[in-house]
Amino acid sequence: MSTEQGLRERKKAATRRALGEAAIKLAMEHGVAHVTAESIGALADVSPRTFHNYFSSKEEAIVSVLTDRGQEMVEALRARPADEPIWDSLLHITVGMADDDGHMNDEFVAQTTFIHENAALLMQELGAMKALGERLAEIIAERTRTDAQDLYPRLQASAVAVCIAAAKEAWIANPSAGQLADHIRQAFALMRAGLPQPEHPAH
């Protein structure tokens, strides 16, 4: 990629990020029903037409603060060494993203909670996560020399998604119990061990 192309891509990414941040801010302040492409564009200092170049709906823009991380995960996985065990690669990138202090903060918790408490936004996020799982399965298939339609890459992609979702929910429910990265490590360890039953279940 040339320097000019790289600059263009960074500008596009910055615009998309600004629109997503504007969308979630307006939704949390005024309610989803009162958010429009025009109001999002105005806050991000772009036209409604530009908004529609990046998003097909306000719901897509609102949840992009969560779902765009998925694309970053796909790109990070592609960049990992080809001979690295796939579980190690997946753990490395998910923990790395969770350790991003600029992202995993109180604001992120509030945004995630807001999205998960709104049925339409939650459905939008789940749809995006399904597409992410399919892309992850394709990369896992490449790395493990299997077919993307086989059970193994599909199952592993789903397992990773479950680990991330469960870790995130546990962390949001009790942030003082540790960092998100700690919950992710624990979730991966349990999954890789075959989910052994705890010796002393909580009552």
The alpha carbon of residue 190 and the mean position of all alpha carbons in its chain are separated, in whole angstroms, by: 21
CATH class of 1-55: mainly alpha
Percent of residues in the chain assigned helix, strand, coil, to nearest 5: 75, 0, 25
Q: Answer whether 62's CB lies under 8 Å from 37's CB.
A: no
pLDDT in tens, the chain (203 residues): 567 778 888 999 999 999 999 999 999 999 999 999 999 999 999 999 999 999 999 999 999 998 998 888 999 999 999 999 999 999 999 998 887 654 556 788 899 899 999 999 999 999 988 888 899 999 999 999 999 999 999 999 999 999 998 998 898 888 888 888 999 999 999 999 999 998 876 65
Please give the CATH superfamily to which domain 58-193 belongs: Tetracycline Repressor, domain 2 (1.10.357.10)
Nearest to 93 by CA among 118, 112, 114, 72: 72
- Confidence (pTM): 0.81
Q: Where are the domains of the chain?
A: 1-55, 58-193
Q: In terms of C-beta density within 10 A (0-12 exposed, 13-18 middle, 19 or more buried), how is residue 56 classed?
A: exposed
